[in-house]
């Protein structure tokens, strides 16, 4: 009785699933431990800076514009709402700010009401140009309830 006749010879095969698992773990390990190098178009040697020195805080001039077109410079309400009155007051405020900052350029912060006219804001920007102020920014408030 030959019982082996019905049995086929089993072919040995390599199970690839454990090999793939090990390779994935190695790949993830290499991705995590890799140091990335930043490539730039130009070879630049950065200068050395003394981290102990504090940066000077620029003088600020805050110009507020109300909804009815009235102006205030550093919380002082101007008596007139004309561009000429604004020019004069802003030049004086710029001179005072420059003297306090030892000649450094002050920053003009325009704090305009949302209901103020564009012309009122343009008047402030034109007065800033005439006063020699080139650094200006607008004050805003965060949008409440707006999603990313």
Structural domain tally of the chain? 1
What rounded mean pLDDT belongs to the chain? 82
- Among 13-27, 41-55, 71-85, 132-146, which stretch is predicted with the lowest mean pLDDT? 41-55
**Residue 99 belongs to what domain range?**
60-138
Question: Region 114-128: what's the mean pLDDT?
Answer: 90
**Domain contains 69:** yes
The answer to whether 61 touches 93, Cβ cutoff 8 Å, is yes
Report the CATH number at residue 82.
Answer: 3.30.420.270
Between CA 41 and CA 109 the distance in angstroms is 37
Q: Does the predicted TM-score (pTM) go above 0.85?
A: no
Question: Region 26-36: what's the mean pLDDT?
Answer: 89
At residue 42, the pLDDT reads 58
At residue 53, the pLDDT reads 65
Residue 57: name the closest of 111, 104, 11, 25 by CA.
Answer: 104
**Domain contains 71:** yes
3-state secondary structure of 70: coil
E-assigned strand segments in 8-131: 60-65, 71-73, 76-77, 107-112
**Domain contains 99:** yes
Residue 72: name the closest of 37, 116, 41 by CA.
Answer: 116
**Domain contains 116:** yes
pLDDT digits (tens, 9 = 90+) for 56-90: 678 899 898 888 888 989 888 888 778 888 899 99
**78 vs 141: which has the higher pLDDT:** 78
Question: Region 113-121: what's the mean pLDDT?
Answer: 89
């Amino acid at each position: 009785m030959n019982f082996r006749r019905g049995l086929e010879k089993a072919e040995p095969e390599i199970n690839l699933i454990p090999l793939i698992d090990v390779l994935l773990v190695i790949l993830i390990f290499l991705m995590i431990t890799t140091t990335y190098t930043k490539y730039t178009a130009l070879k630049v040697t950065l200068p050395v800076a003394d981290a102990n020195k504090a940066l000077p805080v620029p003088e600020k001039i805050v110009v507020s514009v109300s909804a009815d077109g009235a102006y205030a410079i550093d919380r002082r309400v101007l008596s007139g709402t004309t561009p000429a009155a604004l020019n004069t007051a802003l030049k004086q405020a710029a001179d005072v700010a420059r003297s306090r900052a030892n000649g450094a350029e002050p920053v003009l912060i325009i704090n305009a009401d949302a209901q103020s006219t564009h012309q009122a804001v343009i008047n402030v920007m034109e007065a800033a140009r005439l006063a020699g102020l080139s650094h200006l920014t607008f004050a805003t408030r965060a949008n409440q309830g707006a999603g990313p």
